[in-house]
Amino acid sequence: MPFHVTIIGAGVAGLTAAHLLQQHNCSITLIEGGNRVGGRTFTRQHERHLEEQGAEFFHPAHHHRLRAALEESGLPAQDLKDLATLWVSAGKGKLGDPVHPEIKALCRHIDTDVALINPHRWITPETAHLDRPFTEYLAKHPASDTVHSEFLAWTGTLTGADPQEFSALGLLRDFKMFGTTEAALTAVEQRIAGGTMQLALSLAKPLMPQIRFETRVVAVHEAVAGFEIITHTDERISADAVIITVPFNTLHQCQFPGLFPALAQASRNRHTNRSRKRWFDPETIFNPRIATDPTSLSYLDVTASAGCIIAADEISGDQAAAHLDLPIAPMASARSHSWQDDPLAAGAWMTIRPGQALVLDDLQRWNIQNPRCQVAGGDVSPIWPGWIEGAIAAGTSAVTRLIQSTTH
Ligand SMILES: Cc1cc2nc3c(=O)[nH]c(=O)nc-3n(C[C@H](O)[C@H](O)[C@H](O)COP(=O)(O)OP(=O)(O)OC[C@H]3O[C@@H](n4cnc5c(N)ncnc54)[C@H](O)[C@@H]3O)c2cc1C
């Protein structure tokens, strides 16, 4: 029986789903609002070096799906520069040590809560008490002010958000994905050689004739047989099934059967991550550095010819540079992309607020019960949300559920 699936969004989740569906002999249409594939993997060429405006790092020891996808696409990985990290407090730098005995003790303490987490569920009765602002959660753990602020600085590299705004449960779920808190803070990172967007480009290559660019979906309705997808130009496209992979912060802009009121409200409120990368030409080679303000981080690219600051969108480049004890002058010509202002993303990587895990758990149940109309972006994946690994997991799970539903 011919089976036609429409996939909304040509980021890694949508491309993974499309690739797998073709292997199952389904016909597909991929609808993408922008003029390129990759979504929040977005590599730009600048003179002789590549600048990642979106995703950049992965952890080869933990991200098995991504490693397998790279192997299948023949894409090599690349090590990062091995420099000691400085952590910067009040504009003064000193060497950072994530496994300082006091930090280790704090990690072990947090691990008693990490042990309660079921990685396949956003939230359970056993973990509901962890769904509160991270600063509030951390305050109950015995440690000196210095250790607390150093710990916030390290965890800021994972969350990229304000610890008063994001949920402790979201961060502890991340620790669970790595195994333990210390494993999360010390995991070795790599990049995709030639740029992170290579993965999306490679997945998209055989799918190009099926991708429709610059077409934004505004609604999905149930039809007599299957679904009707409505675009911003009011074009109507029929499909037997739909997989929606748009970012969490934009979900409310698209009407679809699973958009229950609490989900629409949570999406309107956005998750907490407003990170922006600013690439600049450094005056000298510098060590990677993390500020006690957990949203600030800076490092050099692999060629050491470009520097990058990651800080909240609302902080100016100058402020972030001063905070990180870097010269402000190069920031005048910094190159960046505001994910916050990008209507197809409306935020950077998924970092949940208290209360959003409950909504995401309901959405996961919806996906299981409605395999022909799923929401399956990396943001809503209970496995590795906010990571490329999560986008691959989301696309894969959606296809598995859909195919099972067609064979029963
Ligand atoms: C600054 C930044 C740094 C990051 N760093 C890392 C990192 O180091 N490592 C890591 O693993 N991950 C990182 N991430 C997260 C990672 O990029 C995402 O988790 C992953 O790319 C999400 O993939 P996706 O396919 O689910 O969503 P997306 O990549 O957002 O793809 C969704 C697609 O849907 C399209 N779309 C949106 N609305 C519509 C619509 N209405 N109609 C049609 N199309 C639509 C969008 O244009 C987009 O192409 C980072 C993200 C950012 C922004």
Dump pLDDT digits (tens) for 124-176. Answer: 999 999 999 999 999 999 888 888 888 888 888 899 999 999 999 999 999 99
pLDDT category at 314 given cuts 50, 70, 90 is very high
34 in ligand 1 pocket by Cβ < 6 Å? yes
pLDDT at 146: 84
Quickly name the fold that domain 4-77+192-270+344-407 has.
Answer: FAD/NAD(P)-binding domain (3.50.50)
Assess contact for 319 and 275: CB atoms under 8 A.
no
pLDDT of residue 84: 82
CA of 379 to the centre of ligand 1 (A): 8
Cα 125 to averaged position of ligand 1 atoms, centre (Å): 30
The pLDDT tens digits for 194-241 are: 999 999 999 999 999 999 999 999 999 999 989 999 999 999 999 999
Instruction: Mean pLDDT check: name the lowest of 137-151, 234-248, 276-290, 338-352.
Output: 137-151
Instruction: Please answer whether residues 91 and 221 qualify as being in contact, where contact means their C-beta atoms are separated by less than 8 angstroms.
Output: no
Atom number in ligand 1 closest to CA 37? 49
**Per-residue confidence band for 329, with pLDDT thresholds at 50, 70 and 90:** confident
| pLDDT at residue 244 is higher than 80 | yes
Specify the ligand 1 atom closest to the Cα of 376: 26
SS3 of 269-290: the string is HCCCCCEEEEEECCCCCCCCEE
**Annotation: CATH topology of 81-188+275-336:** Polyamine Oxidase; Chain A, domain 2 (3.90.660)
Mean pLDDT of the 34-38 span? 98
Pocket test for ligand 1, best of 246, 310, 338, 397 (most atoms within 8 A of CB): 246
- In degrees, rounded to 5, the angle at the alpha carbon of residue 176 between the alpha carbons of residues 113 and 360 is 90
Distances (CA, A) of 171 to 261, 357, 383: 25, 12, 13
Of 80-94, 130-144, 169-183, 340-354, give the lowest mean pLDDT range.
80-94
What average pLDDT does this structure show over 67-75? Answer: 97
| pLDDT above 70 for 1 | no
Task: List the single range of 48-57, 68-77, 190-199, 322-331 with lowest mean pLDDT.
Answer: 322-331
CA distance 364 to 361: 5
Q: What residue ranges do the domains of the chain occupy?
A: 4-77+192-270+344-407, 81-188+275-336
DSSP symbols for 41-83: --EEEETTEEEESS---B-TTT-HHHHHHHHHHTPPEEEPP--
Between CA 351 and CA 185 the distance in angstroms is 17
What is the sign, positive or negative, of the torsion defined by CA atoms of 160, 162, 164, 166?
Answer: negative
When computed from its CA atoms, the radius of gyration of the chain, rounded to whole angstroms, is 21
* Any ligand 1 atom below 6 A from CB of 286: no
Q: Smallest Cα–Cα separation from 274: which of 341, 323, 336?
A: 341
Q: What pLDDT is stored for residue 354 in this prediction?
A: 98
pLDDT of amino acid 80: 84
Please check the confidence at residue 32 and state whether its pLDDT lies above 80. yes
Q: Which residues contact 318 (CB under 8 A, 6 or more apart)?
A: 328, 331
The per-residue DSSP string of 170-188 comes to HHHHHHHHHSSHHHHHH--
Using a 6 Å cutoff on CB, does residue 254 contact ligand 1? yes
